[in-house]
Amino acid sequence: MEFLPLFHNLRGRRVLVVGGGEIALRKSRLLADAGAVLRVVAPAIEPQLCELVNSSGGEQVLRGYVEADLDGCGLVIAATDDEPLNAQVSADAHRRCVPVNVVDAPALCSVIFPAIVDRSPLIVAISSGGDAPVLARLIRAKIETWIPSTYGQLAGLAARFRSQVKTLFPDVQQRRGFWEDVFQGPIADRQLAGQGAEAERLLEAKINGEATLTTGEVYLVGAGPGDPDLLTFRALRLMQQADVVLYDRLVAPAILELCRRDAERIYVGKRRADHAVPQDQINQQLVDLAKQGKRVVRLKGGDPFIFGRGGEEIEELAAHGIPFQVVPGITAASGCAAYAGIPLTHRDHAQSVRFVTGHLKDGTSNLPWNDLVAPAQTLVFYMGLIGLPIICEQLIAHGRSADTPAALIQQGTTSNQRVFTGTLKDLPTLVAKHEVHAPTLVIVGEVVLLREKLAWFEGAQSQV
């Protein structure tokens, strides 16, 4: 091990930065965040760096470096493009036993800057010993996706109760077991869900030896339109810790595979005239599983609150006092349109967008057609394939031009995506001609014309 990783307390300590340019500014931001008082020495100092020095209560020295600048400093950073000067600063610091970092010169350093994941008070530092800083940054980026920002709040919660727990458990092994249980159980779940007051209440109860109800929790998670890369960090984290997954027909297999391997999987999908499980039974299943103490992911295609019946499900959970979280997903309208190269709004074509369910109850045209033909408006129809002839007929009958551009997007955002463009009058013909099947999104509006220039997704196949 070439460098021993340590964390340096710089709060209120004076740090010397030699150099006044962009690199010095970048290093100084980290130092200021750590509470250091900056002394910056350079013939010229960037305005942003001057502001940072002033805000730290430090000083600007507009001249070249001299060894006396090290006086009273607990750390020195050489951040110039003058190699002999950097070497001199390093030699002076080593002679005085002051920790020194010379940017991009590991051989001259006694300390180095790691790539940092900041979840204060939780800090993760990654270093390659100066040999491959880009690799360290890439690893940091991966870790950023694994550790939610709320982990810092969880560490803060533990800090507030640390002395109490130490008094309660003098033995270090007992304390370790206590905190492992806290960090892997419902207390951590509550804090990570942003419910700090409830997490604190549960922790106090645990310290006081009070029994708490072991009710599970339901995570209502939007799985997006199909591409697994569109999942949110929180969705992925909850999917990987759930004991049971209830999933819909529109959840892509690749997304389902990201759930915990040993989780029980229950299919509750629906298609036209074929509901595997009625909605009221789904609601009851969620309640029953949570009452068994299980963590349940209700995985829904798109966003759970846009034509996804998510509201009905959490109403039932709330009525039974079941804890739940809602994780939004990228709705099909947004995701599929983006992958098809069709912006839903555009200053020259559409100043509003409207999401409409195209599922016509009993085959009747019960939509507010007069509102749907407003000018400069994009219409997006979900579940509109079966009723498409009626939809097109009624829009034209109520004043929308038969030549209005329109698009069909089948299995949007996936490698099987197909896009067909035409006009309002010929959409039904396109469906029959190309054997278009659900799931397919329908977009009506002038913005469809932009697809010819903006289509970018390799899986898209423009036809007509």
**Which residues fall in the annotated binding site for NAD(+)?**
22-23, 43-44
Q: 248 catalytic, yes or no?
A: yes
Amino acid letter for position 377: Q
The closest of 186, 179, 192, 197 to 153, measured between CA atoms, is 192
Q: What does the alpha-carbon distance between residue 78 and residue 188 come to, in Å, rounded to a whole number? A: 42
Q: Residues with Cβ < 8 Å from 371, sequence gap 6 or more?
A: 354
Whether the bond between 328 and the residue before it is cis, its omega within 30 degrees of 0, is no
- For the purposes of burial, counting CB atoms within 10 Å of the CB of 273, is it exposed (0-12), middle (13-18) or buried (19 or more)? exposed
Task: For 116-153, give the DSSP string.
Answer: EEEETTEEEEE--TTS-HHHHHHHHHHHHHHS-TTHHH
Compute CA distances 12 → 17, 111, 281, whole Å: 15, 19, 61
Which of left, alpha, beta for 198 (phi over 0: left; psi -120 to 50: alpha)? alpha
Q: 280 catalytic, yes or no?
A: no
Q: What does the alpha-carbon distance between residue 288 and residue 284 come to, in Å, rounded to a whole number? A: 6
Amino acid letter for position 240: Q
Q: What does the alpha-carbon distance between residue 451 and residue 28 come to, in Å, rounded to a whole number? A: 46
User: How does DSSP classify residue 114?
Assistant: P
Q: What does the alpha-carbon distance between residue 252 and residue 414 come to, in Å, rounded to a whole number? A: 9
First-residue to last-residue Cα distance in the chain: 63
Compute CA distances 114 → 86, 109, 149, 253, whole Å: 20, 13, 19, 38
Which residue ranges make up the annotated binding site for S-adenosyl-L-methionine? 225, 301-303, 306, 331-332, 383, 412
Q: What does the alpha-carbon distance between residue 375 and residue 350 come to, in Å, rounded to a whole number? A: 8
**Are 17 and 31 spatial neighbours (Cβ–Cβ below 8 Å)?**
yes
User: How does DSSP classify residue 208?
Assistant: T
What would the two tokens of residue 161 be? Answer: 């109760």
Place of tokens 């799985």: 223
Amino acid letter for position 308: G
Q: What does the alpha-carbon distance between residue 460 and residue 442 come to, in Å, rounded to a whole number? A: 15
**Are 380 and 442 spatial neighbours (Cβ–Cβ below 8 Å)?**
yes
Of the candidates 206, 227, 248, 300, the residue annotated as catalytic is 248
Of the candidates 243, 270, 291, 425, the residue annotated as catalytic is 270
**Are 117 and 124 spatial neighbours (Cβ–Cβ below 8 Å)?**
yes
| Catalytic site positions | 248, 270
